[in-house]
Amino acid sequence: MSLEMTHDDVRAALAAEALGALDGEEAEAVRAHLAGCDECRRELESLRETAAALAYAAPQVPMDADRSARLRARLVARAAADRGGASADAPPPANRIGALASGDEESGVIPISRARGRRGMMGGGWLAAAAAVLLLIAVGAYAARMKGRYEALSDRYASLDQERTQLVQAIAKRDSTVAALSGPGVQVIELASTQRRAPGGRMFWDPATARWTFFAHDLPALRPDRDYQLWLITPAGPVSAGTFKPTPDGLATVQATYALPRDQLRAVAVTEEPEGGLPRPSGQPLILGTYGE
C-alpha cells in the first residue's frame, strides 16, 4: 500500500467508496483501513444502503414481458443445471484442461509430450507456445460447444416448463369436471331429440355446489352466425346456462355455475339462436329433458 490515509481521511472518502467512485490507490488504502476499523465499516455499510436506494431515483422501467419471461426461464434452467451437477456428462473446464494437458485421446489435440517426442529438434519455448495455442483453441472450442449445449438445454427447459403448466391446468380442469359429475347428490337429466335426427344430451347437476355439466352429441353443424344455447327451464321462465358451438363431430360440453333450488328445475333444453345467444329462447328446443316428479 503506497498511500497512507488517516482514520479521518478514510471517513471523508467513504461516500465516494459507497458510490463506487474511488480511484485505485485510494480504494486500496480505504479497504486496508476498513479491515481493522469497525466504525468505518458500519459507516460504509450505512452509506451503501443509501447509495443502493438511488436505484429508486431511476425511472422504473419493467423489462419487456417476453424478454423477462425468457430471462427467467434461462436463469432457472442454468440454476437447475448448476445444482444438478453440470459435470454429470461433461467434465468441468478445469478438469478438461487437465485431461488435455495429460494427453486425452478424445480431445483431438496432440499431447505436449508426444509433440515433443516427434519434433525433438524444436526449441522448448516454441513448443510451449504452440502447445498453449493448441490448448487455447481446444478450450475455446469446448466453451463454444458448452455454450451451444447450454442454450439448447435452456430452450428445452422453457418449452417443457410451458408444457407442464398447460398439463397441470388441463388436469385441474378435468378434476373439476369429474368432481361435478361424481358428487353424491348429482342429478342427471337426459335430453332426447325432438327432431328426426338423433342429437342428444345429458346434464349433470350438483345442487350442493350449484355446478352444471352438460354433454351433447350428434348436434347438427351450425352456420357461422349461429350458436346453440342451453336453458334451464324454471317456473319463472327459462334461464340461460350459456351458448356453445359443437365440434365437427357434433359433440359439445358446457359447464356453468348457477344456484337453483332443487324444486325449481322443470326441464333442460337446447335451442339454436343467433351468435352470442338471447335473453329468451326464440324457437323450439332441439333437445329437451324434463326433470322432477
**Interface residue with another protein, options 5, 10, 18, 180 (CB under 8 A):** 18
Q: Which residues, in sequence order, are bridge partners of residue 228?
A: 244, 272
- 35 near another protein, judged by CB under 8 A: no
Q: Rank residues 16 and 239 by Cβ distance to another protein and give the closer one.
A: 16
Answer whether 203's CB lies under 8 Å from 188's CB. yes
CB 75 within 8 A of CB 154: no
The contact pattern for another protein, residues 173-192, with x = CB under 8 A and - = no contact, is --------------------
Instruction: Decide whether 152 or 208 has the Cβ nearer to another protein.
Output: 152
At 101, the amino acid letter reads A
Strand partners, 213: 204, 255
148 is written with which cell numbers? 451451444
- Asked if 76 and 69 count as a contact pair (C-beta separation under 8 A), the reply is no
For residue 259, state whether it binds another protein (rule: CB under 8 A).
no
Question: Which lies closer to another protein via its Cβ, residue 13 or residue 138?
Answer: 13
Q: How far is the CB of 259 from another protein (least distance, A)?
A: 35
Q: What's the CA angle centered on 186, arms 180 and 189, to 5 degrees?
A: 105
Please report whether residue 19 would count as binding another protein according to CB under 8 A: yes
Out of 36, 38, 67, 261, name the contact with another protein by CB under 8 A: 67
Amino acid of residue 76: V
Cell of residue 2, nine digits:
503506497
Query: According to CB under 8 A, which one of 4, 8, 20, 293 is a site residue for another protein?
Result: 20
Best CA proximity match to 78, nearest among 145, 160, 153, 139: 153
Contact call for residue 94 and another protein (CB under 8 A): no
Considering the complex, what minimum distance in angstroms separates the CB of residue 88 from another protein? 15
Q: Is 60 in the site for another protein (CB under 8 A)?
A: yes
CA distance 244 to 282: 16
Nearer to another protein, 158 or 222 (CB): 158
Burial category of 62 from C-beta neighbours within 10 Å (exposed 0-12, middle 13-18, buried 19 and up): exposed
Nearer to another protein, 60 or 261 (CB): 60
Name the residues that contact another protein, by CB under 8 A: 12-16, 18-23, 45-64, 67-68, 71-72, 74-76, 78-80, 82-83
